[in-house]
Structure formats: C-alpha cells, structure tokens
C-alpha cells in the first residue's frame, strides 16, 4: 500500500505510520511502519493541525510555523534519496511581514 497516516495526540505530539517510500513519515529514514511512531523532530513544536499529501506531510503550529517532510513541491532534496531529511521547519514562511499561517491543504499531485 502507498498510504500513510498522521495522528495528533492529546499531549500535542504527532505520530505517523504507513508507507514511507519518500520519507513522508518524518523519521529521517525510508522504513515503512505498521504502528504509530512519535515524530521526534516535532516534539515541542506545539502542532495545531496536521495534513497528509500523497508523498509528504506537514503540520502547522499554534504560532503559525509550518513544518514539512517527504517528497513535496519546491524541495530540491526530495528526490527519493537514500538520506531523507526528518521533518523540518519552512523558514521562508517565518518572515515578520508574512501573515500567520492558520490552515493548509495537501494534494496528490
């Protein structure tokens, strides 16, 4: 199966499981998982929303910070490499003149 899933716990932690062919689980590897695993790179980020795309995932924090991981548009290193990056903050959205991000949407293409 090519699907993956995210869950936001009552402790405000994000867990992921499923297919991980492009690093979309956010653990810094390409190992698929059958059971939920905490995304350690996002501990303490205070996520308020989580989203799954076909080959990537993202979350928005209560402060409006966006973190994204996997194979997503605009990521020059997301070419299904053997060294996937764990979940990372998108710094270019954090400019003081940029509006606070409050919602997102993911697509398969």
State the chain's mean pLDDT as an integer: 78
Average pLDDT over residues 94-98: 61
C-alpha distances out from residue 33 to 13, 60, 63, Å: 17, 23, 30
Burial annotation 47-82 (CB, 10 A radius, 16+ → b, else e): bbebbbbbbbbbbbbeeebbbbbbbbeebeebeeee
User: How confident is the model over 4-44, as pLDDT tens digits?
Assistant: 999 999 999 999 999 999 889 999 899 999 999 999 988 88
Q: Quote the pLDDT of residue 70.
A: 87
C-alpha distances out from residue 23 to 5, 12, 32, 48, 60, Å: 12, 21, 9, 22, 18
């Amino acid at each position: 199966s090519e699907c993956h899933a995210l869950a936001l716990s009552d402790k405000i932690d994000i867990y992921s499981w499923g297919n991980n062919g492009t690093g979309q689980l956010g653990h810094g590897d390409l190992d698929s998982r059958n059971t939920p695993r905490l995304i350690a790179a996002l501990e303490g980020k205070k996520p308020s929303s989580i989203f799954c795309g076909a080959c990537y995932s993202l979350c928005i924090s209560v402060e409006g910070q966006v973190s994204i991981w996997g194979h997503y548009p605009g990521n020059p290193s997301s070419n299904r490499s053997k060294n996937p990056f764990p979940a990372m903050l998108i710094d270019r959205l954090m400019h003081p003149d940029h509006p606070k991000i409050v919602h997102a949407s993911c697509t398969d293409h």
